[in-house]
Amino acid sequence: MTSETGFDADRYKRFPTRGPRPDGELEELERIWCKPKGWQWISAINNNYVGVYYVGAAMLFFVLAGLLAVLMRTQLALPMQGILAQETYNQFFTVHGTMMMFLFAVPAVEALGVLLLPQMLGARDLPFPRLSAYAFWAYLIGGLAFFCSLFFGLAPNGGWFMYPPLTSMTYSPGINADFWLVGIGFIEISAIAGAIEIIVGVLRNRAPGMSLDKMPMFAWAMLIFAVMIIIAFPSVILATTLMELERALDWPFFDPVRGGDPMLWQHLFWFFGHPEVYIIFLPAAGATSTIIPAIARTPLVGYRLVVMAMMATGFISFGVWAHHMFATGMPTISTSYFSAASMAVSVPAGVQVFAWIATLAAGKMRFNTPGLFAVGGLVTFVMGGLTGVMVAMVPFDWQAHDSYFIVAHLHYVLIGGMVFPFFAAIYYWLPMTSSRPLSERMGKWVFWLMFTGVHITFLPMHLTGLMGMPRRVYTYLPDRGWELPNLISTAGAVLTAIAVLLWIIDMARNFRPFGNREAGNVFDGPGLEWLPTGLYSVRSVPVITSLYPLWEQKGLSRDVEAGRYFLPNSATGRRETIVTSTLNAEPQYLQRMPVPSPWPIWAAVFTAAAFLLLTIQAYWPSLIAGVLGIYCVFNWCWTLDRPVDQLTADIGAGIRVPTYRAGPSSHGWWAMVLTLVVGGMVLSLAAFSYVFLWSRNPGEWTPPPPLASLPWILAPYAAAALLSWGACRILRLARPRSGLIATVLLVGASGLVGLGWVLEWEAWRGIGTDPTAHAQGAMVYAFLAWQGFFAFIATVMGLYASLRWVAGLIAPDRPTTYDLIALFVVYTAGQGAFAALLVHLFPGG
C-alpha cells in the first residue's frame, strides 16, 4: 500500500516494543484521565461516561414513549371508549411518534457511537469531548421539557410530522405546536454536533494501520449515518424555522391564500424524514453486522458488499422522500420516479440481510440473548421491508397510505431494523461498561416476550388497514370488524410492555457502570473495544493489521495492556489522542484533548433555557439566557488553541509527530467545514423553497429592488471575504504587528458582513416589501433572517477574536482560531451574496 502522508510503514515493525515500561507511566495516565469525584459526574466529558448517560437517556425516552403507546392501545382496544379523551389521545400519539423518532431512535444510535467508537477505533476519546457533553445535556434537558409539556396539556397534537395548515396559528393557536418546533430545535443541534464529532472521529482518530478495509463495520455505519445527518437535518431545521416564523410573525410560507403552499412543508419535512429512518437503521445494521459475526464466531461474509450497501442506502434514501406524498396529486411521472428509487433503496437492505444469513451459515451461532435479538430483528425487518416494497408500488400505496397498514409497516421496519438490534447491542456491549453482564436467563424471557408481543401487536394491523381503518384515530365505530384485530393488537402491546419491564428489572439488578472492573469480553468478540481499558481507553494504541484484531493478532490484549504499542504514556503530560490519515490511518499529529469543565454544561443549560423561554413567549428572559449561553461558550473555547510546550512528541518507539496542526487537515478545520456544510444545505433548501413557491404562483411575484442596488450589497461581502483571507495570510507572516493587523482585518470582515446584511434589508424595505403580505416577501425575509443569524455569529466571533488578541493568545504559529473564524466569515459572505443574487435576479423584474 502506497503511503498517503509519507509515513514509512516499516516503522510499524518496531511494535510491539520490548522491555519494561518506565515506572509511574501507567499511574500518570490514570491520573490524567481520572475518574470524576462527587458532583464532577455532571461535568464529565469522557466518552465512557457521556456515552452511558446518553444511552440511558435514550432508553428513558423509549420507555416513556412506550408507556404512551400502551395507553393509546388501551384506548383502542374497544370501539368508542373514553379511557383517553380525544385531545389527550391526539397529544399522546403526537408525542409518542415525536419522542420515538427524535428523542429515542436517533440519539440512541448516536449514543452507541459515542460509547463505542473511541474504543473500537483505538482512540482515547472522541475528538471533541466537550461538544458531546454539550450535545447530551442539551438533549436531555430539551427532551424532558418536551415530555413534560404533556402534564400541562401543552403537548403538540398535530402528529409527529405536523402538517400545516393544521399546525398553523389559525388551527393550532396554542403554544403546543411551538413546543414541538422548538423541542426539535434541540435535537437538531444535538444530532448535528454528534454527527460532526463522529465523522471526524471515524475518519481521523483510528489506530494506526486501521485502513478503510480494516475499519469495523459499525464504524462505517456510523460514518455514513453522520454524513446523512449533515445532509438531511438541515431540511428539518429550515422547515421548523419557517413554520415558527409563520406562527410567530405571520410570514406565509405555507398559507396558500398568500402565495404559500402546504406542500412545501411536506417536501422539506420528508426530504429530512425519509433519510431519518435510514439514519436510524444504518447504525443498528452496523451493530447487527458486528454482533452476528461475533456470536457466530466467524468473520462477516461480504464485507465489501455490505460497505457498498450502506453507502448505497445512504445516497438513495435521499431520493425517495415523496413516496410519503403519493396521494397528494403530484404528476404521475414524478411519483413514478420516486417509486423507482424506492424500489432501488430496498436492494442494499437485502444485500445486508443475506450477508447476515451467509455469516450465520458460515459460523456456529450461539442462541444467547444478543444472538436472539439479532436474528429476531432480521426476521422482523425482512417482513417490514417486504411491506415496504408493497407500498413502493403507487397504486397499492393509494389504498394503504395513512391507514393502519402503514402503521404496521413502519413499526416492523423500525422495531426489526433498530429496536431489536439495539437490544442486541445492549446485551452484547453492556459487559464493556458494567461490572456484571445482564442475566442470560432473564434476557431470553425479555426477547421471547418482546418478539411475540411485537408480532401480536403489529401483524393484525396489516389487516386493520386493509379493512379501512385510517391512522391517528382516537377511536373507531363498532360493527366494521375492526374490534377483533384491535383487541389482539392491544394484547400484544401489553406483552411487549411486560418484556420491557423485565428488562428494566434486569438492568436494575445487574447494570453497574463506572466501577473499577468491567465484566469484559463475555461473548468473545473480535473488536478493539474488548481490549482491557481504563478511563484512558486503551493503555497503548495498537497497530492494526486485521479486521478482527482480537481473533487474529496474537497476544494483542497482553501487549496493549503492557504498553508495547503507540502512546503508552502521555507524551505531553496532558490528555491526548493520535490523529491519523483518512485512508490508511497513518499517524499525523498528536491531538491535545480538553479536561472536564462545567462550561459546556452551563452552555447547554442556557441554550435549553433560551429555547424553552422562547416557546413560552418570555422574550426578555430568553434573550438573557442566550447571552449567558454565549458567555459560557466563550469560556469553553478560551482553553482552545493554547501554546504548546513541545513542538513534536514521541508517540512510541521513537516516532515523533507534531503536537499542533493548522490548515485543512486539522480536526478543527474539519469541524468548521462540516458545520458550514450544514449551513450550505439550509441555504440550498431555502433556495429550493423559494423557486418552488414561485413555481406554484409565478404570476403573483413582484419585481425586486432595482438592479443598481445589487453591486452595493455584494461589495461588502466580497470585501469581507478578502479581509478574512488577508487576516490569515498576514498572521502567518509572523511580523511584529501581524497579530494586531490580522485581528483588525478579521473584526472588520465580520463588521462588513453585517453591513451587507443591512444594505440588503434596506433595499427590500425601500420598495415596501411586507413579509406578511405574500410568500415572496416572506422568503426574502427568511433569507434575511438566516443571514442575520450568521452575521450575528460572525460579529460575536469578531468580538471573541479581539478578546483573544487582547489576552495575548494570538500567535503566528497557532493560526487555527483565526483560520476557523475566517472560514466562517467567508462562508457567511458567500451565503449573503448567493441569497442576494437569487432574490434579486430570479425571477427578476
Partner 1 sequence: MVNWLWMTGGLVVWATHFSGLYALSSLADVVTRADDFGWRIAGLAFSIACAIACAALLVLAMRRRRAGGPSFSSDIAALTAGMGGIAVVWQTLPTLVGH
Partner 2 sequence: MSTGSPEGTAGWPPPVLDPAGPFAEPVTTVSWVLFAMAGAVLTLVLVALGVALFGPRRWRKRLGGARLIWIGGLAFPVLVLSALLVYGLGLTSHLADDPQPGEMRVRVTGEMWWWRVAYLDDRGREVLQDANEVHIPVGRPVVFELDAADVIHSFWVPRLGGKKDMIPGRRNYLRLQADLPGSYGGQCAEYCGGPHALMGLVVVAHAPGEFDAWRARQAAPAPTAALITRGSEVFRRSGCGACHTVRGTDFNGLAGPDLSHVGSRRTLGAGILPNNQGTLGGWISDSQAIKPGNRMPAYPVLTGEDLRAVSAWLDSLE
Q: Is 250 in the site for partner 2 (CB under 8 A)?
A: no
Residue 320, C-alpha cell as written in the block = 425517495
Q: Is 617 in the site for partner 1 (CB under 8 A)?
A: no
Q: Is 579 in the site for partner 2 (CB under 8 A)?
A: no
Measured distance CA(421)–CA(332) in Å, rounded: 37
Sign (positive or negative) of CA dihedral 419, 421, 422, 427: positive
Strand-pair partners of 577: 591
In the list partner 2, partner 1, none, the entry touching 473 (Cβ below 5 to 8 angstroms by class) is partner 2
Q: Is 796 in the site for partner 2 (CB under 8 A)?
A: no
Measured distance CA(159)–CA(27) in Å, rounded: 54
In the list partner 1, partner 2, none, the entry touching 361 (Cβ below 5 to 8 angstroms by class) is partner 2
Instruction: For residue 537, report the phi and psi dihedrals to the nearest 5 degrees.
Output: 70, -125
Nearest distance from C-beta of residue 339 to partner 1, angstroms: 8
In the list partner 2, partner 1, none, the entry touching 312 (Cβ below 5 to 8 angstroms by class) is partner 1
Strand-pair partners of 657: 649
Q: What's at 78, amino acid-wise?
A: L
Residue whose cell numbers read 447571552: 627
Q: Is 357 in the site for partner 2 (CB under 8 A)?
A: yes
Q: Where are the beta strands (DSSP E) in 587-633?
A: 587-592
Q: Is 171 in the site for partner 2 (CB under 8 A)?
A: yes
* Position among 9, 166, 305, 358 found at the interface with partner 1 (CB under 8 A): 305
* Position among 13, 18, 37, 304 found at the interface with partner 1 (CB under 8 A): 304
Q: Is 379 in the site for partner 2 (CB under 8 A)?
A: yes
* Position among 396, 511, 688, 694 found at the interface with partner 2 (CB under 8 A): 396
- Three-class SS state of 648: strand
Q: Is 421 in the site for partner 2 (CB under 8 A)?
A: no
In the list partner 1, partner 2, none, the entry touching 159 (Cβ below 5 to 8 angstroms by class) is partner 2
Q: Is the CB of 119 or the CB of 335 nearer to partner 1? A: 335
Could you say which residues in the range 694-753 bind partner 1, by CB under 8 A?
695, 698
Q: Is the CB of 356 or the CB of 602 nearer to partner 2? A: 356
* Position among 107, 201, 273, 302 found at the interface with partner 2 (CB under 8 A): 302
Nearest distance from C-beta of residue 288 to partner 1, angstroms: 20
Q: Which of the ranges 165-173, 299-307, 470-478, 563-571 carries the binding residues for partner 1, by CB under 8 A?
A: 299-307
Could you say which residues in the range 750-789 bind partner 2, by CB under 8 A?
none
In the list partner 2, partner 1, none, the entry touching 362 (Cβ below 5 to 8 angstroms by class) is partner 2
Strand-pair partners of 513: 434
Residue (of 783, 716, 727) closest to 754 by Cα position: 716
Q: Is the CB of 209 or the CB of 526 nearer to partner 2? A: 526
In the list partner 2, partner 1, none, the entry touching 467 (Cβ below 5 to 8 angstroms by class) is partner 2
Q: What is the DSSP string of 231-261?
A: HHHHHHHHHHHHHHHHHHH---SS-GGGT--
Q: Is the CB of 90 or the CB of 816 nearer to partner 2? A: 90
Q: Which of the ranges 276-284, 384-392, 626-634, 720-728 carries the binding residues for partner 2, by CB under 8 A?
A: 384-392
DSSP state at residue 417: I
In the list partner 2, partner 1, none, the entry touching 157 (Cβ below 5 to 8 angstroms by class) is partner 2
Q: What is the DSSP string of 349-366?
A: HHHHHHHHHHHHHHS---
Could you say which residues in the range 641-700 bind partner 1, by CB under 8 A?
695, 698
Give the total residue count for the chain. Answer: 845
Q: Which of the ranges 272-280, 346-354, 596-604, 624-632 carries the binding residues for partner 2, by CB under 8 A?
A: 346-354
Q: Which of the ranges 19-27, 80-88, 196-204, 783-791 carries the binding residues for partner 2, by CB under 8 A?
A: 80-88
Nearest distance from C-beta of residue 744 to partner 1, angstroms: 34
807-845 core/surface letters (b: 16 or more CB in 10 A; e: else): eebbeeebbbbbbbbbbbbbbbbbbbbbbbebbbeeeee
Q: Which of the ranges 343-351, 502-510, 572-580, 821-829 carries the binding residues for partner 1, by CB under 8 A?
A: 343-351
Q: In 363-419, which residue ranges form alpha helices assigned H by DSSP?
A: 369-392, 394-400, 404-414
Distance from CA of residue 261 to its chain's centroid?
Answer: 29
Yes or no: say if 95 and 147 are a contact pair by the CB < 8 Å rule.
yes
Q: Which of the ranges 62-70, 336-344, 756-764, 769-777 carries the binding residues for partner 1, by CB under 8 A?
A: 336-344
Yes or no: say if 446 and 506 are a contact pair by the CB < 8 Å rule.
yes
- Three-class SS state of 573: coil
Could you say which residues in the range 692-751 bind partner 2, by CB under 8 A?
696
* Position among 27, 82, 332, 516 found at the interface with partner 1 (CB under 8 A): 332
* Position among 17, 211, 313, 403 found at the interface with partner 2 (CB under 8 A): 403
* Position among 85, 148, 249, 340 found at the interface with partner 1 (CB under 8 A): 340
Q: Is 337 in the site for partner 1 (CB under 8 A)?
A: yes
What element of type H or E holds 16?
none
Q: Is the CB of 344 or the CB of 799 nearer to partner 1? A: 344
Q: Is the CB of 24 or the CB of 350 nearer to partner 2? A: 350
Instruction: For residue 805, report the phi and psi dihedrals to the nearest 5 degrees.
Output: -65, -45
**What are the C-alpha distances in Å from 494 to residues 84, 92, 481, 504, 808?**
17, 17, 22, 15, 64
DSSP state at residue 399: H
Residue (of 583, 727, 595, 576) closest to 658 by Cα position: 576
Measured distance CA(167)–CA(156) in Å, rounded: 9
Measured distance CA(209)–CA(215) in Å, rounded: 10
In the list partner 2, partner 1, none, the entry touching 337 (Cβ below 5 to 8 angstroms by class) is partner 1
Q: Is 212 in the site for partner 1 (CB under 8 A)?
A: yes
Size of the site for partner 1 (CB under 8 A): 32
Q: Is 87 in the site for partner 2 (CB under 8 A)?
A: yes
Q: Is 453 in the site for partner 2 (CB under 8 A)?
A: no
Could you say which residues in the range 578-607 bind partner 1, by CB under 8 A?
583
* Position among 359, 433, 724, 817 found at the interface with partner 2 (CB under 8 A): 359
Measured distance CA(669)–CA(816) in Å, rounded: 8
Nearest distance from C-beta of residue 182 to partner 2, angstroms: 20
Size of the site for partner 2 (CB under 8 A): 89
Q: Is the CB of 72 or the CB of 682 nearer to partner 1? A: 682
Q: Is the CB of 121 or the CB of 351 nearer to partner 2? A: 351
- Three-class SS state of 513: strand
Q: Is the CB of 27 or the CB of 479 nearer to partner 2? A: 479
**3-state DSSP percent of the chain in helix, strand and coil, to 5:** 70, 5, 30
Q: Which of the ranges 131-139, 344-352, 609-617, 647-655 carries the binding residues for partner 1, by CB under 8 A?
A: 344-352
Nearest distance from C-beta of residue 334 to partner 2, angstroms: 11
Could you say which residues in the range 469-498 bind partner 1, by CB under 8 A?
none
**What are the C-alpha distances in Å from 79 to residues 72, 265, 456, 471, 486?**
13, 33, 19, 14, 9
Question: Regarding beta strands 576-580 and 656-658, do their DSSP bridges make them parallel or antiparallel, or are they unpaired?
Answer: unpaired
In the list partner 1, partner 2, none, the entry touching 664 (Cβ below 5 to 8 angstroms by class) is none
In the list partner 1, partner 2, none, the entry touching 341 (Cβ below 5 to 8 angstroms by class) is partner 1
Residue (of 707, 834, 835, 839) closest to 776 by Cα position: 839
| Count of CA atoms in the C-beta half-sphere (13 A) of 645 | 6
Rg of the Cα atoms in the chain: 27
Count of CB atoms situated within 10 Å of the CB of 471: 18
Q: What is the contact surface with partner 1 in residues (CB under 8 A)?
A: 1-2, 211-213, 304-305, 307-309, 311-312, 315-316, 318-319, 331-334, 336-337, 339-341, 343-344, 347-348, 583, 695, 698
